[in-house]
Amino acid sequence: MMTSNQLFKEGVLFLTYSILISKKSGSSRSSHTSRYYQLLRWCGDKQFDGVLILDECHNAKTGTVTRGKGVRVSLSKTAQTVSDLQKALPNARVVYSSATGGSDEKELGYMQRLGLWGSGTSYSSFSDLAFKLSRGGLSFLEMLCCDIKAKGTFISRQLSFIGCRFDIVEAVMTESMASMYYQSVQVWKEFLKGFKEAFEVRFH
């Protein structure tokens, strides 16, 4: 009896994330209702060297990230399935496609193939990386994106300004405008002073 991967040497298979995670339970491969294990059999398991394109991959973002002395990461069902799929097909080429893939550190947990953590990197696990990113905020994420873009593992696109015309116009402040600005600054300084005093009374 020929298996599916013997019958079809080439092909394209489309799956939604909801179908991929449906009825994925346990580790037994005898479940014919699991699309996940059907996909692994179709690909030929570890010998598969084709391409996995995870479109709208932000749907596979990590479930929760608990911050404390460190970071404790809890994977959502979708993120866990996508993570398991990449581990089960180590020779597969993986493409992550998303318009909002890196807006939060917890959304990077499934991107195992970028080489951001693990052996040969500065972070032993994704939890270690997420902890550093959570402390650095958005600026650290921006630096991370610049780094992986420089390595060629990240490609971004933006709207073209070809054919657009723009002029630089200098806005000269009048005395009344300058006075309004300085008055606003003084108001905010008073607000800040009040906030600090209230904070000290509340927590000291």
User: Is 175 within a domain?
Assistant: no
How many domains, the chain? 1
User: Is 164 within a domain?
Assistant: no
Please check the confidence at residue 34 and state whether its pLDDT lies above 70.
yes
User: Is 129 within a domain?
Assistant: yes
- For position 6, what pLDDT does the model report? 54
User: Is 15 within a domain?
Assistant: yes
| Model confidence pLDDT, tens digit, residues 79-118 | 888 888 999 999 999 998 887 766 677 778 888 888 888 8
- Give me the mean pLDDT over the 178-203 stretch: 87
User: Is 185 within a domain?
Assistant: no
6 vs 15, which has greater pLDDT?
15
User: Is 18 within a domain?
Assistant: yes
Transcribe the chain into DSSP letters: ---HHHH-SS------HHHHHTT--SS-S--TT-HHHHHHHHHTGGG--SEEEEETGGGG--SEEEESSSEEEE--HHHHHHHHHHHH-TT-EEEEE-SSTTSSGGGGTT-GGG-SSSTTSS-SSHHHHHHHHHHHTHHHHHHHHHHHHHTTS--------TT--------PPPHHHHHHHHHHHHHHHHHHHHHHHHHHHHH-
73-77, 110-114, 117-121: range with lowest mean pLDDT: 73-77
Please check the confidence at residue 128 and state whether its pLDDT lies above 50.
yes
| Encoded tokens for 14 | 């489309």
d(CA 192, CA 187): 9
Q: What is the pLDDT confidence band of residue 20, given thresholds at 50, 70 and 90?
A: confident
- Give every CB contact of residue 4 below 8 A, 6+ residues apart in sequence: 41, 42
d(CA 132, CA 122): 11
Domain that holds residue 23: 4-150
User: Is 190 within a domain?
Assistant: no
What integer best gives the mean pLDDT of the chain?
79
User: Is 141 within a domain?
Assistant: yes
- Give me the mean pLDDT over the 159-184 stretch: 89
Q: What is the pLDDT confidence band of residue 63, given thresholds at 50, 70 and 90?
A: low
